[in-house]
Amino acid sequence: MKKKKQHNQIVHFEDKEHEALMGIWWTGILLRKSAKRFFSNYLSSEVQFNIMIVLKYAEKEMTQNEISEQLLVDKSNITGLIDRMETAGLLRRTEAPNDRRCHHIELTEAGREIIDKVEQPYRNYVKNLMRIFNPQEIANITDYMARLQQAVSEENITALSR
């Protein structure tokens, strides 16, 4: 009987750089799908969780633009996300004292309750997922991803200047 190929198997290429990049790309897709399943019990998306966790640990009041920049979410998308979260009672906008065009975003009590409820299960989920790596490997992955992000950022800047 022929063994059925799983959709998540690494596809091998002669071009090893391409193979590595496709592995990263595919892993990102799998992580998003897995996160969607995990967060479906708590929130409508992992982006909502990320916004809420950023706000929970922010050292100062944050604006939509600051949240957008920190999470690498398009400014055009953050407004809709904040709107939906505000309608759901998770967040509240308050006018910035010196700029009527700018709003500070803060968690509501209901938002705090949800983030407090989901944060530890999420940390457990991440710990379980990453258990296959030792601490040095985790440090290496973090370093590799930072270097790759830098290279992509530099390529984007170069492409824009062409």
Taken in order 80, 83, 85, 90, the sign of the CA dihedral is: positive
Express each pLDDT in 36-67 by its tens digit: 999 998 888 888 999 999 999 999 889 988 99
Instruction: Kindly tell me if the per-residue pLDDT of 6 is higher than 60.
Output: no
Would you say residue 84 has pLDDT above 70? Answer: yes
What is the reported pLDDT for 106? 95
What local confidence, expressed as pLDDT, does residue 49 receive? 94
Considering the entire predicted model, what is its pTM?
0.79
Q: Give the mean model confidence (pLDDT) for residues 80-88.
A: 93
Question: What pLDDT, on a 0 to 100 scale, did the predictor assign at position 125?
Answer: 95
- Domains assigned to the chain: 10-40 (no CATH), 41-161 (1.10.10.10)
Query: Could you read off the pLDDT of 91-142 as tens digits, one per residue?
Result: 999 988 877 778 899 999 999 999 999 999 999 999 999 999 999 999 999 9
Q: What is the pLDDT of residue 79?
A: 87
Q: What pLDDT sits at residue 9?
A: 63
What average pLDDT does this structure show over 78-96?
92
Single-letter code of the amino acid located at 129: L
Q: How many beta carbons lie within 10 A of that of residue 86, not counting itself?
A: 16
More confident residue, 45 or 29: 29
The pLDDT of residue 1 is: 46
Higher per-residue confidence, 50 vs 9: 50
Q: CB neighbours of 89 closer than 8 A, spacing ≥ 6?
A: 108, 110, 111
Confidence (pLDDT) at 67: 92
